[in-house]
Amino acid sequence: MTGLPVIPPLLRLVRVEAHSRIFFGILSDDGSLVHPLSGPGHGTFPVEDVRFLPPVIPGKIVAVGLNYRAHGEEMGKSLPDEPLLFMKASSSLLSPGGEIRLPRMSRRVDYEGEIALVVGRRASRITPEEVPSFLYGITCANDVTARDLQKKDVQYTRAKSFDTFCPLGPAILSGALPDSRTISTEVNGEVRQKSMASDMIFDPLTLFSFVSQIMTLEPGDVILTGTPSGVGPLSAGDVVRVTVEGVGTLVNTVVNGEGVSTFRS
């Protein structure tokens, strides 16, 4: 990732394709228009005329497990004394509107709606108080998980890293923290998850700082902050919607393994 554009806080940054060009833009308040920051022309594009891409291409995707008490209880696991970290392969990234592919080696694949933190500046060993000046903003994510393989393996890499297992977007709310925002996940129009970011065990400032003590975070890196309770299985034909208050809604469909990803860099 070469860098994110500098924009005022609380704007919704998107990355889209139109007229065979990929460019950043600002999503209008009502979500109907994209105002390009660069690229073809100088006007606006109706959202129907663009294809949404992941708003950022992370060098690494760091995820946090069991960060909502109710989710820990439903998984039958003890709550961690410090953030439980794992990685998702960057190749698992998927565009808004893209197809989540069910891998043939798994018999159960679950949705996990999450709030994602997007890194804006290189960060190493920073304090929680310093985090706001290093955070670019927040976006929606779906930490798709092959649940049977997660239980089988000692670690989470395989279960979390299949191609298409990290839908991200559609927009980054610049300069924002999760605070008390609501996050919800719907499958085929039915609400399956709903919680507030304030219910996290480890708050976003603590998470960001904790990760930076272990690895240097680079601009464009993403931290997934954990999922609320209510996770469940996906089937081919399902439509999954992850909504973060003030950010937008990430929509993806589910297909069997022969489906084609819409991710493009």
1-46 pLDDT, tens per residue?
348 999 999 999 999 999 899 999 999 999 999 999 976 666 899 9
- pLDDT for residue 162: 98
Are 53 and 22 in contact by the 8 Å Cβ rule? The answer is: yes
Helices (H) and strands (E) in the chain, counts: 4, 21
pLDDT in tens, 62-92: 999 989 987 667 777 777 899 999 999 999 9
Domains of the chain with CATH codes: 8-53 (2.30.30), 54-256 (3.90.850.10)
With a cut of 80, say whether residue 131 has pLDDT above it. yes
- pLDDT above 90 covers a percentage of the chain that reads 87
pTM of the model: 0.94
* Mean pLDDT value of segment 165-175: 98
- Cα separation values, 5 from 20, 167, 180, 235, Å: 20, 21, 26, 37
Sign of CA dihedral 248, 177, 209, 153: negative
Structure tokens at 127: 């304090």
With a cut of 60, say whether residue 263 has pLDDT above it. no
Identity of the amino acid at 26: I
Averaged confidence pLDDT in the chain: 93
Q: How far apart are CA 102 and CA 137, in angstroms?
A: 30
Asked if the peptide bond before residue 170 counts as cis, ω within 30 degrees of 0, the response is yes
* Mean pLDDT value of segment 228-235: 96
- pLDDT for residue 258: 62
